[in-house]
Homo-oligomer: A and B are copies of this chain.
Amino acid sequence: LLAARRNKDRVETDELNEAVERVVAGPQRRSRLIGPKERQVIAYHESGHALVALSLPFTDPVHKISIVPRGIAALGYTLQMPTEDKYITTQVELENRISALMGGRIAEKLVFGHVSTGAQNDLEKVSHLARRMVCEFGMTEALGPVSYGKKEGQVFLGKDLGHEKNYSELTAQKIDEEVHTIVHRSMDIALRILTDRRRDLDALASALLEREVLEGSDLPAILGQTVAPDTGQETGTAQR
């Protein structure tokens, strides 16, 4: 259950928001000069994340989208926050989260015709989540409800030596295949959403380039009636 909490921040009052963003994306650094071309790429990238997250039923509500540079590496960010503390995450929630993470890269590809290094961090997260679905959460038919790479209490000089590869090459190959399948299926969903809602993607990117920061409450006006309700997560889970 710890796992389900790892990617979340507990936020109870509105005044904690700046603190949260500071942790997630580092302090604001408006001094960093970003060219108009790259600013456009970043705007579409973040809009891709946000629009896919908004369009799927089992994702946390989009709280903020920003293209103000922060920290060392973050050129922009999309902040999703759950409406209440969560300790358990379902398979479909994980799949939707992967689709939202792929949204940035898909938007770049769709609009500019090519991919860039900008999605490197998203791919790491996506691969890590998909690998955990296969190896820790037992969420695939092929591998079944078995843990792979379980740490067997090994501690080395006070540090965990990480996952021991305690399975065969054949199993390693099946894991790779399942990870591949999960990532591609989630990517296809993101692609379909952004293709269908291309007009919304352009509207969101334009608004972002103009205003630099968008609150979750700004989104309905920009996207019209097509935004999913803010409480989509809870009702979504129940509808299943």
Q: Which residues of A are at the interface with B, using a C-beta cutoff of 8 A?
A: 1-4, 32-35, 37-38, 41-42, 72-75, 84-92, 94, 102, 105, 112-121, 123-124, 126-128, 130-131, 136-139, 144-148, 150, 152-157, 159-173, 175-176, 179-180, 183-184, 187, 234, 237-238, 240
Specify which of B41, B88, B169 is in contact with A118 (CB 8 Å cutoff).
B88
Cβ–Cβ contact B115 & A90, under 8 A: yes
Chain B contacts for A159, CB-based, 8 A? 154-157
Report the separation of the CA atoms of residues A236 and B119 in the bound assembly, to the nearest whole angstrom. Answer: 21
Cβ–Cβ contact A136 & B114, under 8 A: no
Specify which of B102, B155, B162, B169 is in contact with A168 (CB 8 Å cutoff).
B169
Specify which of B2, B152, B153, B184 is in contact with A144 (CB 8 Å cutoff).
B184
* Beta-carbon nearest neighbor of A151 in chain B: B124
A102, A155, A176 pick with most chain B CB within 10 angstroms: A176
Report the separation of the CA atoms of residues A130 and B115 in the bound assembly, to the nearest whole angstrom. Answer: 15
Each complex incorporates copies of this chain amounting to 6
Chain B contacts for A35, CB-based, 8 A? 84-86, 234
Report the separation of the CA atoms of residues A85 and B160 in the bound assembly, to the nearest whole angstrom. Answer: 33
Give, as a whole number of angstroms, the nearest-CB distance from A145 to chain B.
6
Top 3 nearest A-B pairs by Cβ distance?
A168-B172, A127-B147, A168-B173
Main SS at interface, chain A: mixed
Chain B contacts for A137, CB-based, 8 A? 115-117, 119-120, 123
* Beta-carbon nearest neighbor of A92 in chain B: B114
* Beta-carbon nearest neighbor of A163 in chain B: B152
Chain B contacts for A127, CB-based, 8 A? 146-148, 150
Specify which of B105, B145, B152, B161 is in contact with A128 (CB 8 Å cutoff).
B152
Give, as a whole number of angstroms, the nearest-CB distance from A219 to chain B.
24
Give, as a whole number of angstroms, the nearest-CB distance from A2 to chain B.
5
Cβ–Cβ contact B184 & A4, under 8 A: no
Cβ–Cβ contact A119 & B138, under 8 A: yes
Give, as a whole number of angstroms, the nearest-CB distance from A22 to chain B.
19
* Beta-carbon nearest neighbor of A138 in chain B: B123
Report the separation of the CA atoms of residues A106 and B175 in the bound assembly, to the nearest whole angstrom. Answer: 23
